[in-house]
Every structure is written in C-alpha cells, then in structure tokens.
Amino acid sequence: MERESNGSRFRCLVEGPDAAPCIVLSHGLATDLSMWDDLVPLLTPTHRVLRYDSRGHGQSAATPGDYTLAQLGADVIGLLDAFGLDKVHFAGLSMGGMVGMGLGLHHPDRLHSLAVCDARAEAPPEYRDAWGERARKVRADGIEVMVEPSVTRWFTEAFQHTETARMEAMRTMIRRTSVDGYAGSAAALRALDYERHLAGLRVPTLFLVGSDDAGAPPAVMRRMHEKTPGSRFAEIAEAGHLSVVEQPQAFARALLDFLSEVEAGASAGGTPMPGASRP
C-alpha cells in the first residue's frame, strides 16, 4: 500500500492484529522494508507492525536534493497521522535508529518506546567525510558502486561465506535504492548530532547492537546508553551491522523483552497500551 506524507509518497506494509500495540520499523540507508522480513513474523503474534520504505528507497518516491534527519522524522509523523496512529513503539536500525532518536527528542508524545539499533548518535569528521565521498561516487557512477562495499561492511565474514542466497538478496535490495535517495540520505547522516542531547531523552529506550558491528560498534552504543537516563543496552552475538538480518531470533527476543517491560510498566501505572489510534 502507499501513503502520502510530508510532500512525498511512501510504500508501507501493515501486518498483525488490528487491536495490538503497534511497532513502526525503520530501515537503514540503501536498504528497504524487506530488511525486516525475517523479524516481522516473530513480532506479529503480539504486535501490529508498520514498516515503510524510507524516502528515495525501495518503492517510495525519491525527492531531489539533500535530506535532513528532521525531514525523515517528519516523514514518520506524517505516516502515523495517515494511519491514524497516535502513539507507537519505534524501532530503527542504522539510519532508522538516527531517525528514531530525533523522534524521541522532538516528538516524545508520539512514542511509547524507542529501540535504537546499530546506529550512531554523532558524526565524527571521518564519518562525515566517508558519507560525503560515498554520495559523490553514487552521483557520478550510480548505486552499483555501493553494492559490494556495503554488503562486505554490513555482515560478518561467516555470514558472507555461508549465506550466499541472502547476500545476493541484500545486493538486490541495495540496487533498489535511487541515486537521489542514497545521496540525499547520506547528507542527513553527515549532519548527525544527537549524542550531546541524549541526556534529555525521556522515552523508554533500548540500545541494541551486533557484537561485530564495525559501523556502530558496541563500545559506541554503550556510551550512548550510559548518556541516556533509564535506558537499556543489549548486544547480539555473532552479528554485524545488519544484526536483524544475521540474527533475527536473537534480535526479536531482545526487542520483545524490552517491549514487554515497557508495556508492563504502562499497565502497572494505569496507562493502557492499545494499538493506539486517533479518532
């Protein structure tokens, strides 16, 4: 299905029981909503799941120019409004986790909880330079130049050598990313600057990371956790940057354990946790 939000068009999928609490899943740069395929069936017995292709990715429309994290966050708020969702759980990986931090800081009234997965909160100079160079290459030579560098950076060597069919699916997924979507989103990542604001994050938050993630290493995410009041931290063994693809069962356990804790706390406090919708 498609929905309009923030001046653009987005491909979305909604699965799971209508009345269950809703989880929104937000993917990383150069991926799309299919990244969550192995996770969603593990969530839908207890939750409704909304996932979408980010601006310029998959089957969502691509707008030209540089994007911002605020713009990508506004895309999500518009989708929540389009689906009549007042308040949701939000889980984002890599770029999606960065979008989630922005939502938690600037739109906390729309989130029951936040799971930041395999994502950084700030952009050191080498990080900014790398994304600038990748965007330049894609503008010059097309998305194909990012296929092999991305898949080899995202996954452990063991996964790359044994899961050849899934690796090929990941390559195909990257190729569905538009040039404008990649370069525009890379500009948003270069301006990442949330770490100094994490002390003000008041939404229940989980920081979840693969043990072998080189892009957002466990030490980096543990530091983010330590700066975020009341947050939780979990590490998934034998997983790289796309931890949900390599270890969907372990990812689901960590996420569902966190959601159960949040929902139990809401229930104990007298606050209902429905599939909250706007009238």
Fold classification of 2-268 (topology level):
Rossmann fold (3.40.50)
Q: What is the pLDDT of residue 278?
A: 38
Q: What is the pLDDT of residue 261?
A: 96
Q: What is the pLDDT of residue 84?
A: 97
Written in H, E and C, the secondary structure of the chain is: CEEEECCEEEEEEEECCCCCCEEEEECCCCCCHHHHCCCHHHHCCCCEEEEECCCCCCCCCCCCCCCCHHHHHHHHHHHHHHCCECCEEEEEECHHHHHHHHHHHHCHHHEEEEEEECCCCECCHHHHHHHHHHHHHHHHHCHHHHHHHHHHHHCCHHHHHHCHHHHHHHHHHHHCCCHHHHHHHHHHHHCCECHHHHHHCCCCEEEEEECCCCCCCHHHHHHHHHHCCCCEEEEECCCCCCHHHHCHHHHHHHHHHHHHHHHHHHHHCCCCCCCCECC
Packed helices 69-82 and 179-190: angle between N→C axes, nearest 10 degrees: 120
Q: What is the pLDDT of residue 273?
A: 47
Contact (CB, 8 A) for 236 and 187: no
State how far Cα 6 lies from the chain centre.
Answer: 19
Mean pLDDT, consecutive 10-residue segments, the chain of 279 residues? 97 97 98 98 98 98 97 98 98 98 98 98 93 96 97 97 97 98 97 97 97 97 98 98 98 98 78 43
To the question of pTM greater than 0.85 for the whole model, the response is yes
Q: What is the pLDDT of residue 267?
A: 67
